[in-house]
Amino acid sequence: MFSISNFSKPSLSTRLLPALFAAAALSLTACSDIEEGGSVAVPPVTSAGNSVESPSGNTQDRAGIDIGLLPDGRSVQSFKSPPGYQKDAKLLTYEGPGWESDKVGYRLYLDGRNVIDIFGKKKPALILPETGRGSDYHVMADWGMDILKVGNSLGAGGWGVSKAGRAIQLGDADSYSARVISDTDAEASLEVVMTNAGECAADMTALYTIKAGARLTQIDVSGDCKRSLAAGIVIHDGTQKLSSEDSSGDWQYIARYGKQSLADDNLGMAVFYQSGDVMSQKDDNDDTYIVFKRRPSVSYMTGAAWAREAGGIKDLQAFQAWLTETQIRLNAAK
């Protein structure tokens, strides 16, 4: 039997990059306002995704997290895989846990793929507790849909390993567990543990954290991986590769932009990293990616911007402006 729990834990008291992450969240809201010519009112929502107002009558940003079980769709605080668990096990509502802000949602394939997919949102609401419960999230709904084809890549800033000149998915682990670390209006944080994880041949832990009002997810990975870790972005035909124009600061980025969403419209994805942690930046047939130096832990950020997002980033010029603004704020916060 797989294991579930409804216990909750308080938010982590420390972060590797707390000031930088807060600055990134601020930059995303500010950049959206600048690019679209005005501020966007983002209502807070209940856990079911219904808009509500704060007691003052003002709207607020929200963050959220969800681990949903099949067949009943109930949300739990933790999950541990049963013996023999593998891809397509059909135990979780959208093949793994998810986390979101009002702007964007993400899900992790909790299996040998270990990569990130995107829920594009047309509405500023929390939608994960209702997603994958009886409706097909690959079909456009009033809130949006799953917008990324991942294939054999690292998806939207997921992590794997560097092997034979390529970035590859991690591969099957002996077991998987996921648990909610923090789920407040301000922050959602998820811990994933993999025992004897695939190409790493070691136990690996990853923490995924998103702030209210933000597009960026901070990812902290730790473990004695036997290969160099890699983080990357899927390459789709017709998309444009972007990288930092200003290389003077510690924070740099790789990105891809173009008509690559499953809704057949513009989508941008980016990975922000600290240059001192990375030994190379590469492309292969599947990914634009970075290779980390061999260290017991690495941290980076990943984010996505969909053209149909309410008040969002519509074109390449606006996406480049967001990349530049975010990089500036990250470096200023260091």
Over the stretch 51-98, which tens digit does the pLDDT of each residue have? 222 222 334 689 999 999 999 999 999 999 999 999 999 999 999 999
Percentage of the chain with pLDDT > 70?
82
Give me the pLDDT at residue 29, please. Answer: 39
**Does residue 3 carry a pLDDT above 80?**
no
Domain residue ranges in the chain = 3-7+17-333
Helix (H) / strand (E) element for 317: namely helix 316-333
Q: Given pLDDT bands bounded at 50, 70 and 90, which one contains residue 4? A: low
Give me the pLDDT at residue 218, please. Answer: 98
Task: Determine how many CB atoms are found less than 10 A away from the CB of residue 241.
Answer: 13
- The DSSP annotation for 63-104 comes to EEEE-BBTTT--B-SEEEPPTT--TT---BTTSS-EEEESSE
Give me the pLDDT at residue 61, please. Answer: 85
C-alpha span between 96 and 66 (Å, rounded): 9
Q: Who has greater pLDDT, 325 or 43? A: 325
Q: What is the mean pLDDT of residues 250-254?
A: 98
Q: What is the mean pLDDT of residues 274-299?
A: 97
Q: Provide the mean pLDDT of the chain.
A: 86
Percentage of the chain with pLDDT > 90?
78
pTM: 0.85
Residue (of 42, 47, 17) closest to 217 by Cα position: 17
Q: What is the mean pLDDT of residues 108-127?
A: 97
Q: What is the mean pLDDT of residues 260-272?
A: 98
Give me the pLDDT at residue 60, please. Answer: 61
